[in-house]
Amino acid sequence: MLDGRWRAKAQHSLDPIGRGLHAIGVSADGLTVMGLVAAAGTAVLIANGNLLLGLIGLILAGLPDLLDGSVARFSGTESKRGAFFDSVCDRVADALLLGGVAWNLNTNGSNDAILVLAVLALTMLVSYERAKAEALGFDARGGVMERLERLVLLGVGLALDLLVPVMWIMLVLTAITAVHRFVMVWRQATPPPDGTGAADGPRRRLPRRQRVRRSRPHRLSRVPGRR
């Protein structure tokens, strides 16, 4: 939800910074790697119970994700390879951050770490639904709990030391998003009631010669014992 509405405006407002980073030789892939390293350090801070420092690390891990697109545009290096690399690093960063939360909650002697693993599983499912839908030519963007919403909600949990309630909220909203995306793609992929199969694209017509051959009945052989 915020990922689609707010991200474009934020990236546009950060274009001067992206231009400056490109001028000093910083690449989009370099920013992506920096964000991944920051996420790893943030996960360690959260795991050790340094939640306020973890909040600062979370902000530092999220900034490169907003700036790498601007740097790629100004440098003329926008590509499918870069988009793939950025998406993979985002998934790894999500796993690291939630892993740090799970470690933190596990040290308290409770089973709350299982809750975090459930959030992580649904997070990966939501990302997979979009990736698979786009590979099939459908649209699965949107939902109430995309990546930006997850980072903001995690930041609230770190600032207020309310990780367990935040994880429950994240679990419910991520599950709703997963169902929402599934229904979106299901409706797009379902053929219309008239049976024309428009959802799968237009049907290819056979050449006239093949249509004629199909319409002719097979003749029986006059040789005994052969058909």
Tokens (6 digits) for 91: 């998934």
Q: What is the pLDDT of residue 55?
A: 97
Least-confidence region, from 13-27, 69-83, 153-167, 205-219:
205-219
Q: Dmax over Cα atoms in the chain, in whole Å?
A: 91
pTM confidence score: 0.80
Report which of residues 208 and 32 the model is more confident about.
Answer: 32
Q: How far apart, in whole angstroms, are the C-alpha atoms of residue 90 and residue 35? A: 9
Tokens (6 digits) for 151: 């980072």
Which pLDDT band holds residue 78 (cuts at 50, 70, 90)? confident
In the chain, where the domains are located: 2-191
Find the mean pLDDT for residues 159-167: 96
127: CB partners within 8 A, 6+ apart: 87, 91
To the nearest whole percent, how much of the chain has pLDDT over 70?
80
Least-confidence region, from 39-48, 81-90, 165-174, 187-196:
187-196
**How would you write 115-128 as a 3-class SS string?**
HHHHHHHHHHHHHH
Which pLDDT band holds residue 13 (cuts at 50, 70, 90)? confident
Residue with tokens 């003329």: 76
Model confidence pLDDT, tens digit, residues 33-62: 999 999 999 999 999 999 999 999 999 999
Least-confidence region, from 58-67, 149-158, 182-191, 201-210:
201-210
CATH code of 2-191, in short, is 1.20.120.1760
* Residues 128, 146, 173, 144, CA torsion sign: negative
CB 61, CB 93: distance < 8 Å: yes
- The count of residues in the chain is 227
pLDDT of residue 201 exceeding 80, the answer is: no
Residue 137 region by backbone torsions, left for phi larger than 0, else alpha for psi between -120 and 50, else beta: left
Q: How far apart, in whole angstroms, are the C-alpha atoms of residue 86 and residue 35? A: 10
Model confidence pLDDT, tens digit, residues 110-132: 789 999 999 999 999 999 999 99
Catalytic residue positions? Answer: 90
Residue 76 region by backbone torsions, left for phi larger than 0, else alpha for psi between -120 and 50, else beta: left
